[in-house]
Structures are given as structure tokens and as C-alpha cells.
Structure 1
Amino acid sequence: MTYQTIVLEQPAELPVTLTEVKTHVRMPLDLDDDDALIMSYVASATKYVERRCAQRFVTQTLRTTFEGWTPRIKSVYLPWAPVASVVRMANVVDGSEVDVDLDAYGVTLGVPGAIARRVFGCVPVDAVVVDYVVGYGLAASVPAEVKLPVMILAGHWYARREPVITGTIVSECPMHVNDLIGGLRWGAYPA
């Protein structure tokens, strides 16, 4: 089974504010020459960390289309977390979407989110479309352990704007960021 996800409703804001990043990199808050640049690094760092841990941090609505969903498939994990709600499901038959009753499926919210069939013996479909809301809420609700790797990466990229700086040790991503992201991935449970 393959899937494709698109964003139906973009997040209202980034998970980290300009003030949080400036405080993290010890930049005076009244210095505003590079504010747009810093926020572009925050946007890029957010996408990087979200992809690495299969999460979306600020509330947004996604649509995932699962192709090759056969009657043998009883449940599937939604590819993005934390799942707050499932808004709509539809079967695609001969190119047409037919909405299905959400009560026919069990929905698991959180990390990872999942859907499972409650009714079996379903007719074969070409695909299943799932619209769902993911995220922790607005930026103020995003946990500190999620914000930290975003701030570290944005600060790292701000301080090192070139891919190679002569006379220094070259690193692609600060090692501790990989450790922080690793703790956010599915299946990573606190000790």
C-alpha cells in the first residue's frame, strides 16, 4: 500500500516565535535587521524536524490518500502525528469519492494515530482518503522538547550561513539535534 499526503489547511503560525529564537541565540530583542532571515531559518528547521520525526507541531489539516487498500487490510497508521481528530473518510471507487461513516472505523488519536475497520467484508476500493487534524495546538501549546531542536537548528544555520567555513570542523547537523529528534520519533519512549 502506498500513500500521499497533502496539506488542506496550513498552520496559523510557526511553532517557535522570533523572541524565543533570539533569546536562544542570545541576540538582543531590539535588533531587528535579520528578523525575516531568522524566521526563514525557523520555517526550514520546522520542516526538517517535522519530517524527521513524522509529526506536525502546530495544528493543521491533512489529507492522506492510501492507494492499494484491500479488504485484507484491517488497520493502518496515519503517517503524521499527533492526530487530534479524523474529520472525513472516503472510499475511492472508479475515480469517485464516496464518503464513509466514521463509526465504521476505530480511530486512535495521538502518536501514532491509526484507523481500523470495525466492519469487515468490505468491497474492494481503489483508495481510501482520510482528512485529519494534527498538531499540538498553537505555538504556545507546543512542548519545549519539540521547540528545542527547531531553535537549535535555526540558530546553527543563522550562525553558519555557508556550507563550509575554512579552519573549522565541518558538520551537517549538530549531533545533539539528532538525539533530540530521535526522542520525538514514533516508538521512542522515555526511560
Structure 2
Amino acid sequence: MSLILLSPPASEPVTLAELKQHLRVTHTDEDALITGVLVAAVRAVEARGGLACMPQQWRLTLDAPPMETLHLPIAPVASIDAITVTDGEGAPQPVDASVYEFASGSPGRLRPAGPWPQPAPKIDGVRIDFTAGYADAGAVPEPLKQAVKILAGYFYETREAAHETRVYTVPQSVDALLAPYREFRL
């Protein structure tokens, strides 16, 4: 199983102006740096929480079709864009929507509703393309935006991973803000 980003988000859930206000930065001298820490903070929050803040397309590849309910690894899931199975000639063949059921949200779930065609290759023969993320920046929950701002502020102030007398860690408030959005499986 592998997960591949097909199409990154077109924008971030926090604007440069919002982050600069949070950082109390009024000049434009470091806009490129602040934009960089903003993007890094968003990606770190998404990775830590198994989340997609803004709409983005992903591909999950499997060796075989799912036999039971499959929880998609990034939430919230907005849609299944395509499912294909690779045939004996190596060509992707579309899987008819009648052979699976899909539930969007957190987590997105996919369950077989009938027999799936079997892929010819043994590795990565099934491709599930899906869109994950909140509809727009206004739909992203405020606690996630706050986690991004806190982490971006931390990256801005602490530009090195360690110092000779101290190792830096992610602020605990980031994990506390992410906790309600993480998926836990039993």
C-alpha cells in the first residue's frame, strides 16, 4: 500500500496576512520566509493529524481489492474520483461504482458491495483516487488554523532543529488542538 499526492492544495487555510498578524510582524522584509514556515506548518499539522486542510487529490494503491471496509488514510474525504484495477496488459481499467459503497467525511470509508475485478500484477494493482480536505479555508475548523499558526510561529522563532544546549520539540498545544481531529482505531 502506498499513498501518493496527485494534486496539492491550491491555497493554504491561513493567509500570509493572518499569520503575520499572529506573529505581530508588520514589515514585508520576511514575507518569503513567513510563507515558507506557513507551508511547512500546514504540512506538519496535516501529517501529524492524518488530515488534509484544503482540497487535494491523493492516490491510494493496494495490492488487492479491499475485502472489508477500508478507512482512507487522510481525512476528511470529500469524494472518490476514480478507482481502477490494472489488467494483464498493464492498463488501468475503471471499477464500476456499483461494486463499492462510499461514505465521505472523517474517516472516508470504502466498502465492497459486489465482486471486484482482480488486478493482474501482484503489487499496486488497485488505484483509488480521492479528494480530501475541507471545502475552503472558511470550512477549516479554527482549532486546526490555530495549530498552524502556533507551529508556524514556533518555526519562525526557532529556525534550527537543535542548539548545543537544547533540543527543540513541537509545542504541546499543537497536539492538544489536533487531538479531536485524529482518527483512532481500535
Deviation per CA, 1:22-79: give whole Å up to 9, x if none.
1212222xx1111110110011111111111111111111121112336xx1221111
SS class of match (2:181): coil
The Cα shift of 1:141 comes to 2.5
Q: What's 1:34 paired with?
A: 30
Deviation per CA, 1:102-137: give whole Å up to 9, x if none.
1221001000001111114x4533422111111102
Say which of 94, 116, 136 aligns to 2:111: 116
SS class of match (1:183): helix
SS class of match (2:81): strand
Aligned ranges for residues 162-181 of structure 1 at < 5 Å? 162-165=160-163, 170-181=167-178
The Cα shift of 1:165 comes to 4.9
The Cα shift of 1:170 comes to 4.4
The residue type paired with residue 66 of structure 1 is L
Q: What's 1:43 paired with?
A: 39
Q: What's 1:55 paired with?
A: 51
- Classify 1:37/1:48 alpha carbon distance in 2 versus 1 (closer, same or farther; 3 Å): same
Q: What's 2:184 paired with?
A: 187
Q: What's 1:10 paired with?
A: 8
Whether the 8 Å CA contact 2:161–2:168 is kept in 1: the answer is: no
| Cα separation, 2, equivalents of 1:155 and 1:84 | 30
| Cα separation, 2, equivalents of 1:52 and 1:139 | 19
Whether the 8 Å CA contact 1:12–1:138 is kept in 2: the answer is: no
Whether the 8 Å CA contact 2:102–2:108 is kept in 1: the answer is: yes
- Classify 1:159/1:104 alpha carbon distance in 2 versus 1 (closer, same or farther; 3 Å): same
- Does 1:149 pair with 2:144? no
* Runs of 5+ unmatched residues, structure 2: none
Say which of 86, 90, 95 aligns to 1:100: 95
| Cα separation, 2, equivalents of 1:124 and 1:166 | 56
> What TM-score does the superposition give when structure 1 sets the normalisation length?
0.85
| Cα separation, 2, equivalents of 1:128 and 1:144 | 36
- Does 1:85 pair with 2:83? no
Aligned length: 180
SS class of match (1:116): strand
Cα root mean square deviation, aligned = 2.0
- Does 1:65 pair with 2:80? no
The residue type paired with residue 16 of structure 1 is V
> What TM-score does the superposition give when structure 2 sets the normalisation length?
0.87
The Cα shift of 1:163 comes to 3.0
Whether the 8 Å CA contact 2:83–2:94 is kept in 1: the answer is: yes
| Cα separation, 2, equivalents of 1:162 and 1:86 | 40
| Cα separation, 2, equivalents of 1:80 and 1:36 | 29
| Cα separation, 1, equivalents of 2:133 and 2:158 | 30
The residue type paired with residue 173 of structure 1 is V
